């Protein structure tokens, strides 16, 4: 697991207790990076670390709530303490939020979605970027969504937050492009994760609803976490050395319609 292009490098993955975050942490470790696995879900995060170590990789877990700036700062400092710096980051932590029309959306729910899904990404970046610049650059991938590219009824806060992530990504990409730091976003379609299958739209509990959502994708299926992880790792790799400021849809063709 330590012979890939990321050997000797350090990656931070937020929201890595399950789903896309876990798959991406495993993928970074496969390429040789030491991975700081973070999440509010301690048991899930520790399980991700166990999986990485059993496969021969290097990882540590830290409980981090991205709505808490002190915890985000401590996250980056922990990576520095453990391995000397930060080279890659996948800012993935997020919540699904409530489902309601815009005029009925609860203000408290709105603020929480924005605080975690958008401001949380900014908090991560503001602490990750200085450490990456100390090492001459790096690569950041922010987790947006197809809902950062198109609208979706009854999810105004999530849609607004993910559009904001795309905009934030593009702004930062321009700021640091000449300093060796690339910043991109990945925009997953509906993926078979706990957020989609068990929470949120709860497609795991309704076969008809699952089929209806699958049909929104020209491939007529939902994606797998590993398919997003491969895109994230590619965006961080030397193979994507001329790619920055891009919002990559990995969505089975959802936004091509």
Render pLDDT for 28-68 as a digit per residue (tens, 0 to 9): 999 999 999 999 999 999 999 999 999 999 999 999 999 99
Verify that 40 and 94 share a domain, yes or no. Answer: yes
In a domain, 29, yes or no: yes
Verify that 99 and 199 share a domain, yes or no. Answer: no
- 55: domain range? 10-188+224-249
Verify that 183 and 160 share a domain, yes or no. Answer: yes
Verify that 110 and 233 share a domain, yes or no. Answer: yes
Confidence bin at 140 (pLDDT 50/70/90): very high
Total-model pTM: 0.95
The 10 Å CB-count burial string (b at 16+, else e) for 75-89 is bbebbeeebebbbbb
Verify that 161 and 202 share a domain, yes or no. Answer: no
In a domain, 4, yes or no: no
* pLDDT (0 to 100) of residue 158: 97
Torsion of CA 171, 172, 176, 178, to 10 degrees: -40
Sign of CA dihedral 193, 45, 244, 175: positive
Verify that 61 and 129 share a domain, yes or no. Answer: yes
Catalytic residue list contains 246: no
* pLDDT (0 to 100) of residue 141: 99
Residue 160 sits in a domain whose CATH number is 3.40.50.720
Verify that 201 and 155 share a domain, yes or no. Answer: no
In a domain, 214, yes or no: yes
In a domain, 156, yes or no: yes
Are the CB atoms for 168 and 125 separated by under 8 Å? yes
* pLDDT (0 to 100) of residue 241: 98
Question: CA–CA distance from 136 to each of 1, 73, 79, 231, 250 (Å)?
Answer: 25, 20, 17, 23, 29
Question: What is the total count of domains within the chain?
Answer: 2
d(Cα 25, Cα 23) in Å, to the nearest integer? Answer: 6
* pLDDT (0 to 100) of residue 193: 80
In a domain, 2, yes or no: no
Confidence bin at 12 (pLDDT 50/70/90): very high
pLDDT > 60? residue 2: no
Verify that 124 and 65 share a domain, yes or no. Answer: yes
d(Cα 166, Cα 70) in Å, to the nearest integer? Answer: 24
Verify that 211 and 159 share a domain, yes or no. Answer: no
In a domain, 255, yes or no: no
* pLDDT (0 to 100) of residue 133: 98
**Between 95 and 196, the higher pLDDT residue:** 95
In a domain, 5, yes or no: no
Confidence bin at 3 (pLDDT 50/70/90): low
Verify that 169 and 210 share a domain, yes or no. Answer: no
Verify that 62 and 127 share a domain, yes or no. Answer: yes
pLDDT > 80? residue 196: no
In a domain, 254, yes or no: no
Q: Which of 158, 176, 210, 254 is catalytic?
A: 158
* Range with the largest mean pLDDT of 1-5, 173-177, 216-220: 173-177
Mean pLDDT of 149-172: 97
* pLDDT (0 to 100) of residue 6: 97
Verify that 122 and 204 share a domain, yes or no. Answer: no
* pLDDT (0 to 100) of residue 23: 98
């Amino acid at each position: 697991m330590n012979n890939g292009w990321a050997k000797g490098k350090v990656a931070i993955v937020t929201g890595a207790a399950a789903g896309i975050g876990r798959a991406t942490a495993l993928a970074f470790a496969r390429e040789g990076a030491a991975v700081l696995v973070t999440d509010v879900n301690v048991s899930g995060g520790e399980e991700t670390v166990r999986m990485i170590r059993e496969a021969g990789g290097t990882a540590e877990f830290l409980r981090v709530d991205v709505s808490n700036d002190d915890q985000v700062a401590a996250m980056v400092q922990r990576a520095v303490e453990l391995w000397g710096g930060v080279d890659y980051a996948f800012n993935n932590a997020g919540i699904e939020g409530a489902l309601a029309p815009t005029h009925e959306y609860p203000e408290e729910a709105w603020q929480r979605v924005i605080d975690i899904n958008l401001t949380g990404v900014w908090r991560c970046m503001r602490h990750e970027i200085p450490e990456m610049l100390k090492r001459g650059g790096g690569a950041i991938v922010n987790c947006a969504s197809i809902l950062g590219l198109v609208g979706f009824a009854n999810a105004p806060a999530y849609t607004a937050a993910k559009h904001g992530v795309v905009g934030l990504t593009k702004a930062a990409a321009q700021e640091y492009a000449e300093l060796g730091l690339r910043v991109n976003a990945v925009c997953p379609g509906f993926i078979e994760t706990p957020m989609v299958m068990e929470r949120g739209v709860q497609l795991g509990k309704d076969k008809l609803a699952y089929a209806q959502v699958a049909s929104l994708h020209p491939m007529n299926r939902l994606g797998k976490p590993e398919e997003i992880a491969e895109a994230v790792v590619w965006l961080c790799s030397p193979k994507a050395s001329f790619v920055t400021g891009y919002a990559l849809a990995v969505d089975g063709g959802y936004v091509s319609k």
